[in-house]
Structure 1
Amino acid sequence: MKILITGATGLIGRALVAQWQDQHQLVILSRSVAKAREILAIDASYHQSLDEIDFNQLDAVVNLAGEAIADKRWSESQKQKICQSRWQITEALVEKIQHCTTPPKVLISGSAIGFYGRQGSQIVTEEHSSFYPEFSHDICARWENLAQRAAGEHTRVCILRTGIVLSSKGGALSKMLPLFKLGLGGPVGDGKQFMSWIHLDDMVRLIDFLLYRDDLSGPFNATAPRPVTNKQFSQLLAERFGKKAPFTVPAFVLRLAFGEMADLLLFGQNVQPKRLLDNSFEFHHPQLKEALNALQF
């Protein structure tokens, strides 16, 4: 297949490119073609503008672009950057698809479990219809609505509501590792908030799964089927390095350090990938302890 990938230099994008480089003809969109070539180091078609790409020649589009949500404190300007980096590219992709005579067969577009907002311990599936009104929901709701506009007779749209992606090569886990390796890590807040996670290998596999399943569309929870509490996550991560997790970070300390962004750490969602499981997707890493052990640190 000929596949356009946005966000190809991100954590998921890099792994997806590595998986697909010998299977598909890849088209890479990047703000810096030179940087993308250096990072990905593969033979692909690189472009800086969507106007350079003939969408009539594409079989699929995978849209993973977006400013990292937890890299910086949420000032108003940073919030706008987070939103626009997702909304603008998605809107532009949809416009291109809508004006095709032979449009791509599928748009697989990113989102996050932040779509649901804070949900306590309640089990959340794709059918969940009660959302807590906060920044993470607002970002994802519009992001998804924009992507869904590409859906039509010839194009199906799959939405990836992604949880915490576990990898030794970046992402949220890389920020936790230094303290846990030293035996200084531990739960945040009361530790009761759920963390819905997925191993990077399974993330890539489910995107590949959705690429070929012509009968599937709509939102999919891209999370492993065994979410854990923050306390359980901390204990298992500490055990991975032969340590304990004796320290707790109080909620007020997180709020002082990160402001509103602390809510991402203090509240969570108990998410189940119901639609993937119902359609026979098999997770290679369904349990957190095994998933952490499978990572090479």
Structure 2
Amino acid sequence: MNQKVVLAGGTGFIGKYLERKFLELGYEVKIISRQDRHISWNDHAGIADALEASGMLINLAGKSVNCRYNSRNKEEILQSRTETTRILGNAILECKNPPSLWINSSTATIYRHAEDRPMTEDHGEIGSGFSVDVAKAWENAFFSFQLPQTRQAALRIAIVLGESGGVIHPIRNLVRFGLGGAQGSGNQMFSWIHIEDLYRIILFLRDKEELSGVFNCSSPHPVTNRELMHQFRKAMNMRIGLPSPQWLLEIGAYVIKTETELVLKSRWVIPERLEREGFTFKFDTLDKALEDILHRSHS
């Protein structure tokens, strides 16, 4: 097995976690990012050199969607995903000994708002709107490359829960200040995955050499927003949680420069392919995930 992994866009919450885990496994880890100490996105020769004889390329690059969707941010959100994917694909084509596996991020937001039934890889319905258009363009850029020596897997990742980033901190603050009630109707589904299980999925796909294509990366037990907030209050021993109606969320989102879609869209996603292939989740239920994350971040 080639003991080199390349993390593209590897300086965020997920990337730092994966870097630590792969270093613990004894991998050499190369990182491509906009930060000076890593391989630059403009250094095409350096990117191809890093990919040469690597076991895995994992692409996590993309501007955060936690912002207002004005025209400039929309353009950056799109370009930061599609252009980086094209740069990587072209670099793989230059390799004599290319990576055997290329894992590219995608998003569970590609599916429509769903309160009626869960979305699977085979029977999920693609949605509409800006976020979905970005997801489709991202996957199209990825699968436009025909790479005979490199397996390709696109991970439609749900909301990632972990102690050092993502949604944990803002939700915990809401609960702490007594605002941990349902948001909007509270009926919207919240699909999520513990960061450790995301890492374990990557290892699973590394070892299952017959697998490629699209995979939903989400716990098999999504919850409603109402249940999500209840579980947080329970884990934090907070009995009171005031609800946030949609009009209040709109004001709050404007003030903190984000979009209510991140909270109000119903993402009901099931990891059907992974489970069918035999993957088992370490943190399959939200109470297990929160117990691990909240306990860990206090210890």
TM-score (norm 1): 0.91
In the aligned structure 2, how far is the partner of 1:245 from the partner of 1:270?
Answer: 27
- 1:52 corresponds, among 46, 50, 53, to 46
Counterpart in the other structure of 2:125: 130
Is contact 1:97–1:150 with CA below 8 Å preserved after alignment?
no
Residue 287 (structure 2) pairs with residue 282 (structure 1)? no
TM-score (norm 2): 0.90
- 1:84 corresponds, among 67, 79, 103, to 79
SS of equivalent to 1:111: strand
- What residue ranges of structure 1 are gaps of 5+ in the alignment? 35-45
In the aligned structure 2, how far is the partner of 1:129 from the partner of 1:101?
Answer: 38
Is contact 1:234–1:245 with CA below 8 Å preserved after alignment?
no
Shift of 1:244: 2.8
Is contact 1:160–1:221 with CA below 8 Å preserved after alignment?
yes
Residue 62 (structure 2) pairs with residue 66 (structure 1)? yes
SS of equivalent to 1:243: coil
Counterpart in the other structure of 1:271: 269
Paired residue total: 285
- 2:34 corresponds, among 31, 35, 41, to 31
Q: In structure 2, what residue type is equivalent to 1:258?
A: A
In the aligned structure 1, how far is the partner of 2:4 from the partner of 2:197?
Answer: 22
Shift of 1:50: 3.4
In the aligned structure 2, how far is the partner of 1:121 from the partner of 1:201?
Answer: 29
Is contact 2:118–2:124 with CA below 8 Å preserved after alignment?
no
- 1:18 corresponds, among 5, 20, 23, to 20
1:79-112 CA-to-partner distances (Å, cap 9, x unmatched) read 1111111111001111111233332211100011
In the aligned structure 2, how far is the partner of 1:90 from the partner of 1:245?
Answer: 45
Is contact 2:120–2:270 with CA below 8 Å preserved after alignment?
yes
In the aligned structure 2, how far is the partner of 1:144 from the partner of 1:173?
Answer: 27
1:109-140 CA-to-partner distances (Å, cap 9, x unmatched) read 00110111312231111113522211111111
In the aligned structure 1, how far is the partner of 2:9 from the partner of 2:191?
Answer: 22
Counterpart in the other structure of 1:5: 7
Matches within 5 A, 1:151-166: 151-166=146-161
Shift of 1:183: 2.8
- What residue ranges of structure 2 are gaps of 5+ in the alignment? none
Deviates more, 1:75-84 or 1:190-199: 75-84
Is contact 1:120–1:270 with CA below 8 Å preserved after alignment?
yes
Shift of 1:221: 0.8
SS of equivalent to 1:189: coil
Q: In structure 2, what residue type is equivalent to 1:67?
A: K
Distance 1:128 1:99, change over 3 A: farther
Distance 1:245 1:219, change over 3 A: farther
In the aligned structure 1, how far is the partner of 2:277 from the partner of 2:146?
Answer: 20
- 1:230 corresponds, among 217, 225, 242, to 225
Query: Runs of at least 4 residues of structure 1 off by over 6 A?
Result: none
Distance 1:59 1:50, change over 3 A: farther
Shift of 1:273: 0.4
Is contact 1:150–1:157 with CA below 8 Å preserved after alignment?
no
In the aligned structure 2, how far is the partner of 1:129 from the partner of 1:242?
Answer: 37
